[in-house]
């Protein structure tokens, strides 16, 4: 899960917060004649089968360098497994190709040479869209602003930063402003340390105008460097260099053969993971749950609406696959109008889980993005299901920081499910879901530990059945969302690969922004 601020103004830490909602009767259940059949369908989607798919994804990662990242053999093998499983169930699958500019790291080190003793190395991350240092890096003393943030020229007044490495804290303004302000004061490079635990990953955004290298480090390392600088001049070397290469990847798309083609229910999960690990919770879990729902739905005797499934590529690199897909649809007259709603499933098996639903009705969180009409009704399908079985749930912020972003930017209703990433679990959440307070929902987030042994099967089962219920319910009736109920006139579906097939787009070009543009 790569939460991105692409095209949106979003500030704050790289988290999706969860607020406690009433676990029962938070939304009065709507009358729906398909509720009983949807509940029966949900029982067909078992955690056992979803775990079987996850086992295959784990095996794929093990055989391909330990990961399933975009544009790697692990991703290709993951896609082939999804395609093979879908074809066996009777679907026709399509690879929706796109190209993008990918950042390739050439060097990424931060080293302190103390007056006595061995050099000390720190983990550092060059920010996306940052300039590179010269070959060999920049070696200099460090300087910090008067307020630690360094957001305005006044904070550098009286500070000798010329030719030095600016050492500033996260907070107060965007990373690009920090870098530009330090550069204007004379800094040779900027290092920004986090204001919470963990390495600071970030982006300056495209066309940021910053001419010096900007990199992120952890809070602990930043505090250590500040303390060291207080004792005298430092010899700190920052060497962060990268270049871009045009890369090709693809989404995997499939849809049901039954159902009216002018009212499409769409569901998606990103198939790629990060390079650091196998990506079994993030986001093998959502991909596997969606796959099993698709397999079971293939046997449905009647569907009023077409259901389209997407396994997105290059989400971890900036929501690229889903953004390209929606951009292509928007360029085709009437194609976006076909989509009744979109549901997103990104991390649904977190070890220290919550049962989270995107807060489309803003009952707990005011959304930092525009919420398309119909999104609250989409959320209701999920929350009403949980209420009907007595399952506690909480709201998570409707932030747009996953693959539903491009959909909501284009006015398509959306909601989704989430069991948590790097937010810390609260006592209130423990009371609802068990687990351990004071640690994150997924301590293995974006790490080698995100493997099959750390999937919570209980959470996976709860969420998989909720996905199944919502899929079947909306496949029959979206009237609460867009006023469409019943099969209506059945348009003739174009054959796969022929003009007019809504998910046949060919290749698109360019690269969207990266993630976490926050201060």
Contacts of 284 (CB under 8 A, 6+ apart): 53, 54, 57, 58, 68, 273, 278
Burial profile 253-282: b = 16 or more Cβ within 10 angstroms, e = fewer: bbbbebbbbbbbbbbbbbbbbbbbbbbbbb
> DSSP letters of 230-278?
TTS---EEEEEEEEEEEEEEEEEEEE-SSSEEEEEEEEEEE--B-TTS-
Burial profile 194-220: b = 16 or more Cβ within 10 angstroms, e = fewer: bbeebbbbbbbbeebebebbbbbbbbe
Report which secondary-structure segment, H or E, holds 95.
strand 93-112
Contacts of 135 (CB under 8 A, 6+ apart): 241
Rounded to 10 degrees, the C-alpha dihedral 135/136/137/139 comes to -140
Report which secondary-structure segment, H or E, holds 386.
helix 375-388
Burial profile 72-107: b = 16 or more Cβ within 10 angstroms, e = fewer: bebbebbbebbbebbeebebebbebbbbbebbeeee
Quote the CA–CA distance of 259 and 492 in Å, as a whole number: 10
Quote the CA–CA distance of 390 and 306 in Å, as a whole number: 30
Q: Cα dihedral sign for 378, 312, 370, 16?
A: positive
Quote the CA–CA distance of 454 and 351 in Å, as a whole number: 6
The terminus-to-terminus CA distance of the chain in angstroms comes to 20
Tokens matching residue 219: 């809070």
Q: How many C-alpha atoms does 77 have within 13 Å on its Cβ side?
A: 20
Quote the CA–CA distance of 391 and 3 in Å, as a whole number: 27
Residue in this structure with the two tokens 């045009």, named with its chain if needed: 246
Quote the CA–CA distance of 362 and 358 in Å, as a whole number: 9
Catalytic residue chosen out of the listed positions 315, 316, 397, 429: 315
Examine the residue annotation and report whether 315 is marked as an active-site residue of this protein.
Answer: yes
Q: Please identify every residue annotated as catalytic.
A: 315
């Amino acid at each position: 899960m790569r939460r991105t601020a692409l095209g949106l103004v979003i500030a704050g830490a790289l988290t999706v917060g969860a607020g406690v909602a009433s676990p029962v009767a938070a939304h009065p259940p709507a009358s729906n004649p398909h509720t009983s059949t949807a509940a029966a369908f949900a029982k067909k989607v078992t955690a056992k089968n979803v775990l079987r798919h996850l086992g295959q994804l784990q095996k794929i990662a093990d055989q391909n360098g330990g990961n399933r990242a975009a544009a790697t053999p692990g991703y290709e093998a993951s896609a082939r497994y999804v395609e093979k499983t879908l074809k066996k169930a009777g679907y026709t699958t399509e690879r929706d190709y796109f190209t993008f500019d990918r950042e390739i790291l050439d060097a990424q080190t931060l080293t302190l040479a103390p007056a006595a003793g061995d050099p000390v190395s720190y983990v550092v991350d060059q920010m996306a869209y940052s300039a590179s240092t010269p070959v060999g890096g920049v070696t200099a003393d460090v300087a910090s602003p008067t307020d630690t943030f360094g957001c305005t020229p006044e904070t550098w007044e009286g500070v000798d930063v010329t030719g030095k490495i600016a050492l500033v804290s996260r907070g107060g303004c965007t990373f690009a402003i920090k870098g530009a302000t330090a550069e204007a004061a004379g800094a040779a490079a900027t290092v920004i340390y986090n204001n919470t635990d963990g390495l600071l990953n970030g982006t300056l955004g495209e066309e940021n105008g910053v001419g010096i290298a900007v990199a992120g480090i952890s809070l602990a390392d930043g505090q250590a460097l500040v303390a060291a600088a207080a004792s005298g001049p430092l010899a700190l070397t920052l060497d962060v260099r990268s270049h871009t290469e045009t890369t090709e990847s693809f989404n995997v798309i499939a849809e049901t053969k039954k159902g009216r083609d002018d009212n499409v229910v769409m569901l998606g999960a990103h198939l790629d993971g990060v390079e650091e690990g196998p990506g079994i919770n993030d986001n093998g879990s959502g991909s596997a749950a969606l796959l099993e729902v698709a397999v079971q739905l293939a046997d449905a005797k009647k569907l009023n609406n077409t259901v389209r499934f997407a396994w997105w590529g290059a989400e971890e690199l900036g929501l690229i696959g889903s953004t390209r897909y929606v951009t292509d649809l928007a360029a085709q007259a009437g194609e976006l109008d076909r989509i009744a709603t979109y549901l997103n499933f990104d991390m649904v098996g977190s070890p220290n889980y919550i049962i989270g639903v995107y807060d489309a009705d803003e009952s707990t969180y005011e959304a930092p993005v525009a919420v398309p009409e119909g999104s609250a009704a989409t959320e209701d399908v999920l929350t009403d299901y949980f209420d009907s079985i007595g399952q506690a749930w909480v709201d998570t912020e409707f932030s747009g920081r996953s693959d539903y972003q491009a959909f909501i930017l284009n006015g398509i209703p959306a909601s989704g499910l989430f069991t948590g990433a790097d937010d810390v679990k609260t006592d209130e959440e423990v009371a609802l879901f068990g687990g351990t307070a004071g640690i994150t929902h997924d301590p293995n987030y974006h790490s080698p530990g995100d493997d099959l042994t750390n999937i919570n099967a209980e959470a996976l089962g709860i969420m998989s059945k909720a996905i199944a219920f919502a899929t079947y319910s909306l496949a029959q009736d979206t009237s609460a969302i867009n006023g469409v109920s019943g099969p209506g006139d059945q348009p003739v579906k174009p054959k796969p690969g022929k003009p007019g097939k809504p998910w046949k787009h060919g290749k698109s070009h360019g690269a969207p922004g990266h993630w976490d543009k926050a201060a």
